[in-house]
Amino acid sequence: MSNKLKIGILISGQGSNLQALIDACEQPDFPAEIVLVISNVKNAKGIEIAINANIPCFIIDHKKYINRENFEAVMTERLSEAKVELVCLAGFMRLLSKKFIKLWFNRLINIHPSLLPAFKGLNVHVRAIDAGAKFSGCTVHFVRKHMDNGPIIAQSVVPVHDDDTSNELAERILKQEHRLYPSVVRWFAEDRVKIQGERVVVTGIDHPETTVTNPSPAL
């Protein structure tokens, strides 16, 4: 029996972060394994990714349930049957109820393509560019009852270029998402993620000393 952390992943779309987590879990020294993937969208591309990786995958179409609670009850049943210890949202486009979040409290994480608490919600890259932000990035955080809220575990920062399109910025950030999410899952599996109130401390890591300015200052 494996002693690796058992993770379940909830998806709604392309599954690129799912693929990044699959790639990480395939490394022999990675301390977590994906035991279940759930999609609420029947034609999500991520389903094919899970099947190709021989990971059990369930389509639980939220439209077939009379309310959110019934939909989430089926998800919880599947997650519990698989003995999931950590639930990772990876492009899961449904708001979760207080009951579900409480059930998986501090065992439910999400990745968002901005530097929270800035630019919550949708269309974040357009909004960052329109706001004149010089930096954007991605955030992995614990899920709480409000959308894109909760204790921040880690962030990756990328510069916003003056001539960026939203797609170019999104692509640059997505590369960092694929690096950051597996790192956070590793820390969680190694019991290095500690919550103090609503603040997260990760033990055994180095903090960067470099300061980055955009645009770079003249010499």
Write the secondary structure of 33-101 as one string of H (helix), E (strand) and C (coil): EEEEEEECCCCCHHHHHHHHCCCCEEECCHHHCCCHHHHHHHHHHHHHHCCCCEEEECCCCCCCCHHHH
Element (H, E) at 18: helix 16-25
Tell me the domains of the chain and their CATH numbers. 1-104 (3.40.50.170), 110-214 (3.40.50.170)
Per residue of the chain (219 residues), give pLDDT as tens: 579 999 999 999 999 999 999 999 999 999 999 999 999 999 999 999 999 999 999 999 999 999 999 999 999 999 999 999 999 999 999 999 999 999 999 999 999 999 999 999 999 999 999 999 999 999 999 999 999 999 999 999 999 999 999 999 999 999 999 999 999 999 999 999 999 988 999 999 888 888 889 998 865
Query: What pLDDT does 10 receive?
Result: 98
Q: Among 68, 117, 59, which residue's Cα sits nearest to residue 94?
A: 68
Residue 197 pLDDT: 86
Cβ-based neighbours of 156, under 8 Å, separated by 6 or more: 137, 138, 173, 176, 177, 179, 180
**pLDDT score recorded for residue 218:** 67
Contacts of 81 (CB under 8 A, 6+ apart): none
Catalytic residue among 62, 112, 125, 141: 112
pLDDT for position 179: 98
> Dihedral angle at the C-alpha atoms of 69, 75, 76, 79, nearest 10 degrees?
-170
- Determine whether 146 is an active site residue: no
